Structure 1
């Protein structure tokens, strides 16, 4: 070890201003600092590498207890004997044990030789400092209290008169076992210092904790004749520690519950996996070693578009919780769905430093939903086909028959002039033909199949405005025909949304807009009418029907509304 390294350890167990000598486990001097050299009247270079007893003879440091202060003599190269107070501390550096001796010069060769007044003054000063800073009590060898300071009375809430002559059982809380107390008494009765934490009970029944050091005072025979107990209150510290311990236990319980019930993973800020639980390993079919250090791209199914994950990362990167459903791919190529919540953990600057992902498998639920969706799509398709068939039959069958009857009645009217029954038959036949045409149109407008979506919408809006007195502004950038299922879905959603406008909006104007982008078709139906609170939205306003139709073609439907402001229905579908 270099001397500079040794010297840098002086602050380990002593103040920077202490005089110190460092020796190794063989008793060889490794370092003497400047203050020690000055105190011993030596050149420190002459003693580095020498045995300790060349300067402090007859000192067995292996028998010297750590932290104990003893009196001894040093002897320099001139033969001068220097009285010292020594304190030993051990430390470990680079795999080697060392001893740090902190030395102070004694004013004389023994305490008996010191000036009595100075000894008394120093002892009084030390007592004052002790009383001001700590809880102090002195007991005789039987444990009877002989002295307590004001801080002892203050914390115990007993007066000095109530404490003197009693033993410490007066403040026994009953918290500690008999073995604990027996070990304490066994230690100090053998003349050794005892240190530990004790829970006491004050006179008013409240409890308090004290960090306690009990020092035996020994007579000439080495037997204790009294004990000095120095205490520091740590009640708040113990409360905080207990709360932290309780919180830690709760966190452990929560982690256990989470691991048992959920698929859990933790990633760093870059998305690298740092922790996965057993359920993650089980469902992904990757080993823990294969997952740790990788990103979730390892289980990416390719089902979701890049925009999906971009939005996910944008959300959690801003410190917000993200929730959604993700389709993943296991190691064996099978797919599984997870209902996912990702929680960012934020540093002091409010920036995420890691992410906790909690997932629940919903593969079976998604499969049932897909089956239901397939069934619903099939039902809607069958329904539309049936509407189309009935519309054609009404138009081509009953409608044509009624039209033939109308021609017959017209011919009859030319032969029988001004007959009231003939006039009545003409009117009724004309009304029946119109009703059949209207009913046929409601079932399935033929223009939708023959000419396409935009002419069908224009035709519907004209009839709608004429029938209900609501002007509808229509604007479309669509320049091509779509899949027939998508066209009929858009048409039906517009039809249903405007029916709601007619029934509930209490307005005479509305608008329908169709916008075509590179990837999708977006439809907006807006009104500035009565509006409503979304929480009060009822399935009776056709929303369920519109949502089912939107899902049947993998589209998305949303409704925005506020009272007295109006309502907007938005339908978006991929091209």
Structure 2
């Protein structure tokens, strides 16, 4: 048979292709089988197929495909063979093969029609390439199990976790994201990171993804918007990862609302401290100054740059000894708060007094972290205290003079004046002059007594109070006034409580002034004074009622003013002022009420007056 040139070239090309196919077939690392469509028999198998399935070539070619895929042939015909037959090619990644040893090998198979195997345009043979994916599937299953476990961990986190592609397609969200943002999981998976961000941050997404691509991870702050349109400030850390074999981005968002609020509060606090009128400085536990406010600079004369990094020793005036500072540091290092007065030295070497409080600052574990000191300058106050002390001492000397020297001399004048009465007749100028002397001397004695009592009040303080028997005090002053004013009827109404009150010896002057006032300013022929008392809620109310002319409403407050006295009064105008001052020192109260007093049983003409003194009992004041 003679072959023309063109026919010869065609045959040569076919031979070359056949040689190439044969070479690829024999040396391929993947298992390759040639399958007949009609009989479904194996026509050929390469060495890799024999090795993977464990059969010699001749034995493998004698097998029925069902021997390799027991129970799977119907599915193989429907899903794979028909696909190759109709489309010319096909693929499946879900096919198990049973080897000669009985081992199951997971494979993925791709198939294609062999052009040389067509008859009348219909395919008769196909080539099937099998790849062992057992290990890959094992890793995939392991990854799936790991992800399920990881999903449980991620769902337990308080942070919001998002797994998404670079284009924003959401692949996974944890339960915290669902709870905090108020969306369903399906809604979040259907959303993109841009759709969850505030309008101001939407445009940043592409730039952030590019940064992650270049740097591997990035941390930034943004704002997420909830389903209720509420904004949540968050800090997000985004990094590259893989999800089920594909590239993805893992974003972990932490709600920083609390931190933001603490930062705002810290800024407000720092601003308040910086603008405070008191000097504030903070040191570490070794005493090194770490912060000073503006008031510190003004108070000490040291600029912040000069003070920070140094110790408070720069303020040491040399006034205090080592024991003083040992006590201070001992209190602080034991966790206590130190408070006291200290003499410091300014940058210009001038001294000043300060009332200082130093407190420890502890960390979250309760360990000492630093100390904060608040210092108030009291230099002018100390000067005033010294001046007041001097005045107090001078007043005490004056009180002693009034109590002893002047009062004794006046009593001598009174005594000698009374002795002269026997030598002066009842009439005449001499008797009148002598009476004036006696009255003036008695008035002067009263003035010294009032002045002495005023100075006593001015020199006393709250610490001077102690239990005083109320009834004994009232009865003693009642008897004194009966002796001085024999024409008056002064009585105590029973029952009178037997109780101690928190007072001192000045309580006597309160009742003496009130009883004398009730008698002296009475316009009746027989002045009547009734004294009663009642105890309630830790206080005792003493009522001193008289049958006098009464006090107009307009004057009820004014009568307690210093120097205030009645039109016909010859007194100093200090009596009721003294009474109110003393009662207030006892944490008590005094008021005036109208009569006629219910204390009197007979018909009393005139409005009358009632002074009510309320003082705390000794037990309630303890």
Scaled to the shorter chain, the TM-score interval is 0.3 to 0.5
- Under a length normalisation based on structure 2, what TM-score does the superposition of the two structures give? 0.41
- Structure number with greater Rg is 2
- Under a length normalisation based on structure 1, what TM-score does the superposition of the two structures give? 0.43
